[in-house]
Amino acid sequence: MAEISRRATIAASLAVLAAPAAKAQSFPSRPLTVVVPFAAGGPTDVIARLVAEGMAKDLGQPVVVENVTGAGGTIAAARVANARPDGHMLLVHHIGHATAATLYRQLPYNVETSFAPLGLVSDAAMTVVARPDFPANDLAGFVAELKAQGDKLNLAHSGLGGANQLCGMLVQQAAGTPLTTVVFRGSAPALQELMAGRIDVFCDQATNTAPFIRDGRIKAFAVTLERRVEGLDLPTAAEAGSPGIGMSTWHGVYAPAGTPEAVQERLATAIRAALREERLRARFADLVTEVATQEQATPAAHRRHLSAEVARWRPIIQAAGLYAD
């Protein structure tokens, strides 16, 4: 009788150990959905579709992209946070996911605990730019001009929590003075007004500004990454004497919290496979966007980065007193 009991205990233990592996082997059992918080055709949407395409090849199931816009990405994030945690519904979001933790004082989810970070996928520089006749030729002169003129100068952004608004906050901090902010419905109209000379200062993704920098239609002073950006003859903000103007528009993939670890690892493996695809790497280069390293595209690295970004932006947003709700 004791022998039978011992064998039953061993069998039960083996079944428990085998369960995660079996779950991973049976996943995915149907097409996946990747929710994107922004409109089709924008940088986040393009990045998400390229990653989804590569993941589909590795997973052997279609990966469908669904655009769920509104409320600075929080509607899409809430949808994924409340989804069944089986790995079949994912979120692709950018830096705005981290800043939402402070910008929104009443969120229907917790940025850090309601999601399982699966891996970072991209890193894009912001560029500090101005109208073509702006009276400065380097970042030091640019900051000095801001200090001198203050709110006589206007600064464009495309809404609270957007990367260009966050970068604009850093620019104002570096100058030690607030500028007059003008809100646009997207980067495109802001850039048009900048080129026309009706907006003085802007801070936007290199994805959007690179063509206009190269042809001289806007004046550029620095990129905000810690390293220079290939194809743009610009120093980093740190090199130019303003290390405080440092940030990136990074993207990551998330599953709902509670997704089995074996499924998380399977998804992370598919993300890393997608990032090795030559088509993705070529298109990211076109977007002036860096592909995340294989180490960055892991759940652990993504989780650390998200926590660090939440902590970094909280005092900056609180000091500005600008909230989205």
Parallel, antiparallel or unpaired: strands 180-183 and 154-157: parallel
Domains 31-124+248-320 and 125-223 share a fold: yes
pLDDT band at 26 (very low <50, low <70, confident <90, very high): confident
Sorted by where each begins, the domain ranges of the chain are 31-124+248-320, 125-223
Q: What is the pLDDT of residue 17?
A: 47
Tens-place pLDDT, residues 288-303: 999 999 999 999 999 9
Q: What is the pLDDT of residue 116?
A: 98
Tell whether the model's pLDDT for residue 107 goes beyond 60: yes
91 DSSP β-pair partners: 35, 254
If one compares 8 and 314, the residue with the highest pLDDT of the two is 314
> H helices within 136-186, ranges in order?
139-149, 163-175
Fold (topology level) of 31-124+248-320: D-Maltodextrin-Binding Protein; domain 2 (3.40.190)
Question: Domain spanning 125-223: which CATH class is it, in words?
Answer: alpha beta
CB 172 within 8 A of CB 319: no
Q: Could you tell me the pTM of the whole model?
A: 0.88
Q: What is the pLDDT of residue 14?
A: 46
Q: What is the pLDDT of residue 252?
A: 98
The two tokens of residue 74 are 């929080």
If one compares 2 and 307, the residue with the highest pLDDT of the two is 307
Tens-place pLDDT, residues 217-238: 999 999 999 999 988 999 999 9
Tens-place pLDDT, residues 29-42: 999 999 999 999 88
Crossing angle (nearest 10°) for helices 278-286 and 43-59: 180
Own/partner contacts of 138-143, CB < 8 Å, gap of 24 or more, are 138/221, 138/240, 139/221, 139/222, 139/235, 139/237, 139/240, 139/241, 139/242, 139/245, 140/240, 140/241, 140/242, 142/221, 143/174, 143/175, 143/241, 143/242
Q: What is the pLDDT of residue 16?
A: 46
Average pLDDT score over the chain: 92
